[in-house]
Structure 1
Amino acid sequence: MKTSMVAVLLSLSGAIVVPAAFAQTPVKLGIVQATSGGSAALYGTMQKNGAELAIEEVNGSGQLPGYKLVGLHQDDGGDRGQSVNIFQRLINQEKVAVILGPTLATSAFAADPLAQKAGVPVIASSNTAPGITDMGDYIFRTSPPEGQVFPGVLAYVKKKSAPKTAAQIYGIDDTLMKSAYAVHKKALESEGIKIIATETFQKGDVDYSAQLTKIKAANPDLIVIGGLAEETANIVRQARQLGIPASTQILGANAAISTKLAELAGAAAEGFTVGSGWFIQYDSPKNKAFVEAYRKKYNSDPDNFAAQAYTSVYIVADAVKRAGGVSDLKKLRDAIAATKDLEANNGSFAFDANREPAVAPKVLVMKGGKFTLAAD
């Protein structure tokens, strides 16, 4: 009777008593992904989706008793200045435990040093430029760098068709694409493939006919594009429209992978070849569950960037559990660095000594509007 009376009085007073066993400590994750800003949004939206799906799953699974992941999404519009402002706000005002992002490598080079200085771990899931993790020991990535991916793509193509010559075209005013160009050039030279034409473009360009006309005249066996997904799709489409034959194989950077590429390039994308740390047909229970859940929640297929952002959240959850919480971010950083044999949607995940993903990249070829695993 007394218990009932106390309950009534508490109800009337508006007080709520939460048993200690059910109290949950929030673990704030800053999700800095561009969901506006042109090409950047193709990647950022997918990563935001992947991260939020994983947060929902972790919170519903009970694998982090006493803790609740809280995603704080901020759209930087693919603008490095906005990235810096957002990082400052998340670090100094929101007091986040980890930052996931940003979308573009250019933004990462501007903003990640702020997190490094503050001792807040950062996990990138789309930054593939060289030097990302060199910014400091709090910087990680689940996206394999271009230098880890492209040489395997080129080795596969060389084995299949023995190309002798290549043309390169790349974005000259983008940090990632300039670094991708250098990686591609080095790999081509290492394979003994002669570069007979080099062309550039700038952000915002939509007409590549002048550059492609010169490339067509050079008649290369390969065209290697250093561009983001939207740019790459337009270049591929215009190349075929100008009469560059299907026998001239087109290769792209890891950054070109997007479910939108086939939609934007149409039939011209057939045979387009790239490398990736993940592919949708990966045959594992974890990946099948991820793809099914993503389709159910967003009514579309995930891409590798969604997959890598999804993995990033599970890395954080695993690290929080092993670190015993987030009160000590140095301890959390060390737990992230020690990630090993974590079941992920691309197999067993681990970081190497340089905080790079220890995964074996795959070669993907566009067939019938979808990226498929290349046949040996």
Structure 2
Amino acid sequence: MKKLVMTVMMIVLCALLAAPSVWARETIKVGIVLPLTGGQAAFGEIERNSFEMALAEINSAKLLGDKKLEFIFEDDTGKPEVARSAAEKLITKDQVVMLGGGYGSSETFAIAGVAQQSAIPFLVNTGSADKITEQGWDYVYRLNPAASDYPMGLETFLTEVVKPKTAAILYEDSNFGSSSSKSFETTCKRLGINVVLSENYSKGGVDFKPLLVKVKQANPDLVYMISYLMDASLLMGQSMELRITPKLFVGGAAGFTLPEFPKKAGKASENVFSATLWYQTLPYPGAMEYFNNYGKKYGKETEYHGAEAYAAAYVIADTLKRAKSLSRPDVKAALSATDMMTVFGPVKFTSYDKKINQNKLPTYLVQWIDGKLELVWPKKIASKPFIYPIDFEKTWK
């Protein structure tokens, strides 16, 4: 009998030791959907790197106590249908407690639809088309500014410094491009700037000269472009070839702020302005530290896309730390109550205009000067004085 009892005890002990749910530290899984291959892979890379940097810090500091945070990455390849399938896989197969990521607006909108239908919280960190937070979807939250807010930092520069009378707008035929172009047209109307040309183009093209000839004929004071990396580089390179010389070129963020932009556009990138959502010298705790640590770890610079992802990782960790349980309603309630400072700025979800669960932040203006992206406006927080007026013929020699 004694031998039988000992045998049973050994079996029970072995079973307990083999049961990870009892003895091992619990792992909380969060799904992150990004473009890791395809035309937007450069953005996906900088964001994945930033998510992973933050994740290592979060787990090392045990911000979730004995629980370990895990990010499961899925590649949307820059296609909405792939993004939708990726989100469904993360929810049903991987059983994540919430979703994050979302780069391209079309892909982000697809993910948001799945999240709302599945009643699982989704924290968007980059997809910016206004309509993403205008559907009344209460499980969808956005950390980054909406596309309509991008030109805010540019407005005062135009009214106080440039004072343009005419503008041309070129934009990718996508949710992001359409939303951003409509917003800038509204800005121009409010500022009394006549939009002499507003045309879209299909992404992935290589010859923009027929479009740019129209720009040259219109001869605007300002050329505003809403483009991802390859298109941004080609548009500026071909503008230089055609000797299109407005008072200034301005990018609507996206491809115009990536470190790869001056490498691909060459001297055509010099003195180009861009809207931006973040800069490392902004007075946000940890902003410069994140910027420097990213450079040391990956051997290249980061910019606002990376800062969005890094901040989102900390918002996710903070949400899960405060949640009463890992049930979707409790995680949603904790995300709704977010009120914290990040390297990207303050995060607090609110409602305004038609938007719900939207974080509201200021935007800024940067300029490529001597191959380096500099914060130039507002003047009081600039990293370097802006260059204006610009002699593009001299710049391009």
Instruction: Report the residue type matching 2:268 in the other structure.
Output: A
Q: Any residues of structure 2 matched to 1:271-286 within 5 Å, and which?
A: 271-286=271-286
How many residues of Structure 1 are paired with residues of Structure 2 in the alignment? Answer: 363
1:102/1:108 contact within 8 Å kept: yes
1:35/1:41 contact within 8 Å kept: yes
Cα distance in 1 for partners of 2:147, 2:56 equals 31
Cα distance in 2 for partners of 1:223, 1:27 equals 47
Cα distance in 2 for partners of 1:269, 1:213 equals 19
Partner of 2:187: 187
- 1:112-170 C-alpha deviation (Å, 9 max, x unpaired): 11111212111122211111122411111222112112133133123211100111112
Q: Please tell me whether residue 56 in structure 1 is matched to residue 41 in structure 2.
A: no
Partner of 2:331: 332
Q: Any residues of structure 2 matched to 1:97-136 within 5 Å, and which?
A: 97-135=97-135, 136=137
Cα distance in 1 for partners of 2:152, 2:277 equals 13
| TM-aligned CA distance change 1:322 to 1:299, over 3 Å | same
Partner of 1:6: none
Equivalent of residue 345 in structure 1, options 343, 346, 354: 343
- 1:285-330 C-alpha deviation (Å, 9 max, x unpaired): 411221222223222111211110111110011111111342x211
Deviates more, 1:357-366 or 1:123-132: 357-366
Cα distance in 2 for partners of 1:24, 1:368 equals 50
Partner of 2:382: none
Q: 5+ unaligned residues in a row in structure 1: which ranges? A: 1-8
Q: Any residues of structure 2 matched to 1:150-169 within 5 Å, and which?
A: 150-169=151-170
Aligned with 2:37: secondary structure? coil
Cα distance in 2 for partners of 1:271, 1:357 equals 31
Instruction: Report the residue type matching 1:145 in the other structure.
Output: A
Cα distance in 2 for partners of 1:364, 1:105 equals 23
2:152/2:363 contact within 8 Å kept: no
2:125/2:309 contact within 8 Å kept: yes
Cα distance in 1 for partners of 2:303, 2:131 equals 24
Cα distance in 2 for partners of 1:49, 1:43 equals 10
1:271 is displaced (CA, Å) by 2.4
- 1:56-88 C-alpha deviation (Å, 9 max, x unpaired): 110001221021111111111111111111111
Partner of 2:394: none
Aligned with 2:151: secondary structure? helix
Deviates more, 1:129-138 or 1:22-31: 22-31
Instruction: Report the residue type matching 1:368 in the other structure.
Output: D
Q: TM-score, normalised by structure 2?
A: 0.85
Cα distance in 1 for partners of 2:146, 2:279 equals 16
Aligned with 1:31: secondary structure? strand
1:43/1:126 contact within 8 Å kept: no
Aligned with 1:274: secondary structure? strand
Q: 5+ unaligned residues in a row in structure 2: which ranges? A: 1-9, 380-397
Instruction: Report the residue type matching 2:248 in the other structure.
Output: Q
Aligned with 2:32: secondary structure? strand
What RMSD, in angstroms, separates the aligned Cα atoms of the two structures?
2.4
1:215 is displaced (CA, Å) by 0.9
- 1:185-242 C-alpha deviation (Å, 9 max, x unpaired): 1111111101112333212211111111221122110001122222112111211221
- 1:329-364 C-alpha deviation (Å, 9 max, x unpaired): 111112112111x23113333222322223222222
Q: Any residues of structure 2 matched to 1:186-225 within 5 Å, and which?
A: 186-225=186-225
Instruction: Report the residue type matching 1:294 in the other structure.
Output: Y
Partner of 2:295: 295
Cα distance in 1 for partners of 2:283, 2:310 equals 17
